Amino acid sequence: MSRPQPLSGFPELLPRQRIVEQQVVDHLRRAFELHGFANLQTRAVEPMDQLLRKGETSKEVYVLRRLQADARDTSDAELGLHFDLTVPFARYVLENAGKLNFPFRRYQIQPVWRGERPQGGRYREFWQADIDIVDQGELPAHYEAEVALVVADALKDLPIPKVRMHVNNRKLSQGFYQGLGIADTEEALRIIDKLDKIGPDATAKLLVDGVDATPEQAEACLQLAAISSEDTSFVARIRALGVSDPLLEEGLTELAAVVDAVATAAPGFVVADMKIARGLDYYTGTVYEVFIEGEEHLGSVCSGGRYDRLASDGKNAYPGVGLSIGVSRLLVPLLQAGRLDATREVPTCVLVALANEEDRPAATALAQRLRARGIPTQLSPSAAKFGKQIKFADKRGIPFVLFTTDEGTQMKDIRSGDQLTVDVDTWNPPAEDLHPRIITE
């Protein structure tokens, strides 16, 4: 068998990197639960008509198909792998509305699949961590600030570079375009969403060609997109552009409330940014994108927004607001660049050494006594020379080796060389050695 080649866009992590990823996921889970979010897991597949409700996504959906399916069996027909967790969640809410208590707060941490061109920070299979708050009928606006603050809490203690949340409001942008006289405001939003990728000249041309904007209207759209601020001063700057529309005023008011609340509770985390558009069709209010400062080329590592019409059964609407942290997009580039690492590649804190194979049952009992007190412990794979067993531990980053000698049970710190007699029922490693830790470059 020839040596297998890696598949582009499907990252697989080494053990040390996986430890980092697991600890980040555990941190996010704890943060979400501290804010009262309940955990859900939804299926990996959804009907195609549900997946394609999101807008320009048809080229990204992986279709489910069995290799040797019976032509008469159509059970897998029209199914695709989910490419985000919001659409499956909306479906879940509709199916279980009678069993849920509203407002309903949920988090999900699962893999998703997206058929886009692999590049730095973009993958075909990746992990997302989502939070959403959904209500029945009406969703109070204060939740739009709350979810931003949850993400601020979730990200602030991670060993990652500084991140900032950029926020806008689709009512603001669409109201501005309406005030200019542009009819197809949703297409204008999708075009503006490409501004950072294609630049202002190409964006202006797309506005002229795509929504029949005049050069003057296109220039006004770019002037709006250029406005940003860390406080509510953006309101006066937008009004100074001289465009008026009721929807614009509604968006200004809503965005100002979000920026004011988040800037007060988490100083330096939020910036109002009028070029944030989120080209997906279902967003109706505040939209969010989080970037690593200095690494903006990786794209947003967290994004989301408010949606009022995604979940509806015809009689009841379930408006919501949510954010999705791209766990893989956030971590994989940092791991691959060596900017994040773990102190060891295994959970093991103590290796129990063997003088000979006859001692294995007694060594197993010692290991069990340590494990019973929550100390990760494993036995040496063989009764090799002690030096070789120490080398086995050192190669994996295991800090302590336990020996049974005529003088009693000895614990050796293989980093410092210190060795002392211990009682396995009372000895504890230093807190920083009990579990692997994340380290930064």
Residue 282 is assigned to a ligand binding site: yes
Residue 360 is assigned to a ligand binding site: no
Burial class (CB in 10 A: 0-12, 13-18, 19+), 279: middle
Which has the closest alpha carbon to 402: 435, 375, 431, 436? 375
Q: φ and ψ at 140, to 5 degrees?
A: -55, 145
Asked if omega into 88 is within 30° of 0 (cis), the reply is no
The CB-based long-range contact list for 185-189 (8 Å cut-off, 24+ gap) reads 186/281, 187/211, 188/213, 188/221, 189/277, 189/278, 189/279
Residue 283 is assigned to a ligand binding site: yes
Residue 114 is assigned to a ligand binding site: yes
* CA dist., res. 193 & res. 206, Å (int): 12
Hey, what are 342's tokens?
């773990």
Q: Where are the beta strands (DSSP E) in 122-178?
A: 125-134, 163-169
CA distances, 435 to each of 67, 340, 377 (Å): 44, 16, 11
CB of 416 closer than 8 Å to CB of 401 = no
Position of tokens 């008011």?
A: 253
Q: What 3-state class would DSSP assign to 214?
A: coil
Q: φ and ψ at 399, to 5 degrees?
A: -80, -25
Residue 84 is assigned to a ligand binding site: yes
Residue 368 is assigned to a ligand binding site: no
Residue 164 is assigned to a ligand binding site: no
Residue numbers belonging to the annotated binding site: 84-86, 114, 128, 132, 278, 282-283
Residue numbers belonging to the annotated binding site for L-histidine: 84-86, 114, 128, 132, 278, 282-283
